[in-house]
Amino acid sequence: MTPVHFSFCSAFILGLMGLTFHRTHLLSALLCLEGMMLSLFIALALWTLQFEMTGFSAAPMLLLAFSACEASAGLALLVATARTHGTDRLQNLNLLQC
């Protein structure tokens, strides 16, 4: 693996592990998701640049647009959680707990 390839792969895996082992805040899980999107944008853009496939440079732009949609949906959920439970701590989302 070249160093560039290794670094964005490990950036994606780090974001995924941060999302998996989230601790207290919902917002920190959403930020790990944004980190994954960042590593995917860098990966697609580097694919375009290193293979000189100029027509593929629309792909990172479209990825960015769809990730903006996903980030806004996540933030709307965060706002709804903060309005209902008063905070975004994940231990407060326990209405269905027996």
Q: Which residues bind other proteins (CB under 8 A)?
A: 1-4, 6-8, 10-11, 14-15, 17-18, 21-28, 30-32, 34-35, 38-39, 41-42, 45-46, 48-58, 60-62, 64-69, 71-73, 75-85, 87-88, 95
- The answer to whether the CB of 22 falls within 8 A of the CB of 32 is yes
- The answer to whether the CB of 16 falls within 8 A of the CB of 36 is yes
In whole angstroms, how close is the CB of 96 to other proteins at the nearest point? Answer: 11
Structure tokens at 22: 């989230």
User: ∠ CA(18), CA(44), CA(63), 5° rounding?
Assistant: 75
CB closer to other proteins out of 21 and 97: 21
